[in-house]
């Protein structure tokens, strides 16, 4: 009986794990899919996502340079963890650090992540347009302060752009809640493919078709295919804005020609009608159609 229970539990666990999406992937309510796994740093990564601010200008004090470092879906590799955090033995998926004076380190973990304990929260940057990018929220950071029991949290905003990965900014819009911004084509829906040449093969742009309610690559003129990586416009499922504009102009021109022709025809009909009216009026006069001849008789003596 025990063996059967174990088999049943293992089967249920396998079914649940089979249905669970891969870590760092997400399907939004719009149907757009996101895959941030390529942005994940590993021990072999040579660079990290890191941003250091500086002294605030126009203030008499010299503020320390606060730094921010982060990873996706797992803690920052030890080799890429900032030195102040390594010296304090602090490792997390998002950290804030500083060194006030030589040897005086400061490090807060803004976000922990353990797939068995924490759940990632995803959101669209723009709920009406998934091609603007995606936000990943990491909860369960260090305590806010000795007097504030709230836990720090961090969200990473990955804006959809045709670049591998560029760090933009780091802010604290609310106390102990941090927002880190970067740009990457991995922040775009997977429906807009990335090739070796870039997002939409750098021959189009990723946009959301509100009528079809799905994102895809809108190809530039002369390119086609789901990734805009084929020359020629045949079979292109993308949107060719110039062709539509030309079609509209041709339609308007035909309408204008039709109206012009109609006006000319009406003017001709009016002129003919007036001629008929004048002729009819003249013919109705007495003797109007006979030549008047006066006969004069001369007598020669």
pTM score over 0.85: no
Give the span between the Cα atoms of 185 and 164, in whole angstroms.
Answer: 6
The C-alpha atoms of residue 210 and residue 131 are separated, in whole angstroms, by: 11
- Which uninterrupted H or E stretch holds 271? helix 241-283
Q: How far is CA 192 from the centre of its chain?
A: 10
- Residue 15 pLDDT: 46
Residue 53 pLDDT: 73
Rounded distance, CA 199 to CA 216, Å? 11
- Give the pLDDT of the chain (301 residues) as one tens digit per residue: 445 544 544 444 444 444 667 888 999 998 999 999 999 998 888 888 988 875 455 555 556 678 999 999 888 998 899 888 888 888 889 999 987 766 677 899 998 877 776 678 899 999 999 999 999 998 788 898 888 888 999 999 999 999 999 999 998 889 999 999 999 999 999 999 999 999 999 999 999 998 888 999 999 999 999 999 998 764 444 444 555 567 677 888 889 888 888 888 888 877 877 777 666 655 555 554 444 445 455 555 5
Question: Residue 135 and residue 281: Cα distance in Å, rounded?
Answer: 86
pLDDT at res. 243: 53
**Torsion, Cα of 205, 206, 207, 208 (10° steps):** 160
The pLDDT score that the predictor gives to residue 244 is: 52
d(CA 110, CA 142): 6
How long is the chain?
A: 301
For the CA atoms of 182, 116, 47, 87, the dihedral, rounded to the nearest 10 degrees, stands at 110
Quick one: tokens of 113?
Answer: 């992540």
Q: In angstroms, rounded to a whole number, what is the distance separating the alpha carbons of residues 123 and 134?
A: 6
80 near 66, Cβ under 8 Å? Answer: no
Distance (Å, whole) CA 111 – CA 178: 10
* Residue 7 backbone dihedrals phi, psi, to 5 degrees: -65, -40
**Amino acid 14: pLDDT:** 47
Please give the radius of gyration of the chain, using alpha carbons only, rounded to the nearest integer: 38
Which residues neighbour 96 within 8 Å (Cβ) at sequence distance 6 or greater?
Answer: 66, 67, 68, 107, 108, 110, 178
């Amino acid at each position: 009986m025990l063996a059967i229970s174990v088999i049943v539990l293992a089967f249920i666990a396998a079914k649940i794990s089979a249905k669970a999406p891969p870590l760092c992937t997400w399907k939004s309510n719009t149907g757009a899919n996101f895959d941030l796994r390529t942005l994940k740093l590993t021990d072999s990564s040579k660079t990290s996502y890191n941003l250091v601010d500086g002294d605030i200008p126009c203030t008499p004090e010299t503020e320390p340079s606060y730094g921010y470092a982060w990873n996706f879906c797992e803690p920052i590799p030890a080799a890429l963890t900032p030195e102040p955090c390594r010296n304090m033995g602090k490792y997390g998926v998002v950290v804030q650090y500083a060194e006030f004076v030589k040897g005086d380190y400061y490090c807060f973990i803004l976000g922990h992540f353990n797939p068995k304990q924490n759940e990632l929260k995803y959101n669209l940057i723009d709920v009406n347009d998934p091609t603007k990018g995606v936000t990943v929220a990491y909860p369960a950071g260090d305590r806010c302060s000795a007097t504030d029991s709230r836990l720090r949290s961090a969200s990473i905003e990955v804006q959809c752009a045709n670049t591998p990965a560029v760090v933009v900014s780091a802010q604290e819009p609310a106390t102990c809640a941090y927002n880190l911004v970067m740009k990457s084509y991995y922040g775009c829906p997977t429906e807009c493919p990335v090739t070796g040449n870039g997002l939409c093969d750098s021959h189009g742009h990723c946009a959301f078709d509100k009528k079809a309610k799905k994102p895809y690559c809108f190809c530039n003129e002369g390119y086609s295919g789901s990734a805009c990586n084929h020359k020629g416009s045949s079979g292109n499922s993308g949107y060719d804005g110039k062709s539509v504009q030309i079609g509209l102009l041709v339609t308007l021109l035909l309408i204008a020609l039709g109206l012009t022709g109609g006006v000319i025809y009406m003017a001709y009909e009016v002129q003919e009608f007036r001629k008929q009216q004048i002729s009819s009026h003249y013919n109705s006069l007495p003797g109007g159609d006979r030549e008047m001849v006066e006969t004069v008789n001369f007598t020669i003596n």
